[in-house]
Amino acid sequence: MAQWNLWHGCHKISTGCKNCYVYRFDAAFDRDASIVSKNADFDLPLKKKRNGDYKLPSGETIYTCFTSDFFLKEADDWRIDAWRMIWLRSDLQFYIITKRIDRFKVNLPQDWDDGYENVTICSTCETQEMAEYRLPILLSLPINIDFHRIN
């Protein structure tokens, strides 16, 4: 199991963001968590060791964007490259957990069809109101695998 934080920073959009660990952690280091920036490890799935093997070995589960949200508006242009890396590394299993499931189709790859076999899309639902809003969207999306997590 590994984490891939392509970009850092986010904007609070619901009550589920009230006690955000990213905001809390950044505040401890006097950083502004609302500033969204691409991370140095943006291309982690494609990085290789000196011997030519991938740093992330085949079969690894990758938890994606734990210091931001994969579907954040500020990352729209970067997401195009992120999807390309996910497609290239079909030997890895990517888990994407979001509060912005309503932005799922923004910059979705043209070859997505019913989804990539190596991608699991999840949406958090911290209240009944958010469940009533987000879950119908999640259930309507063209995804092969879905996992519903209610906080």
CA angle at 33 for the pair 27 and 34, rounded to the nearest 5°: 140
How high is the mean pLDDT of the chain? 90
d(Cα 71, Cα 36) in Å, to the nearest integer? 12
Structure tokens at 151: 């906080």
Residue 123 has pLDDT above 60, yes or no: yes
**Mean pLDDT across 125-142:** 94
Residue 32 has pLDDT above 90, yes or no: no
Summarize pLDDT for 46-88 with one digit per residue, the tens: 999 999 999 999 999 999 998 899 999 999 999 999 999 999 9
Summarize pLDDT for 102-113 with one digit per residue, the tens: 999 999 999 999
- Select the more confidently predicted residue: 82 or 35: 82
Confidence of residue 97 (pLDDT cuts 50, 70, 90): very high
Share of the chain above pLDDT 90, in %: 72
* DSSP assignment string, 13-67: -SGGGTT-HHHHHHHHTT--TT--EE-TTTTGGG-B-TTS-BSS-TT-EEEE-TT
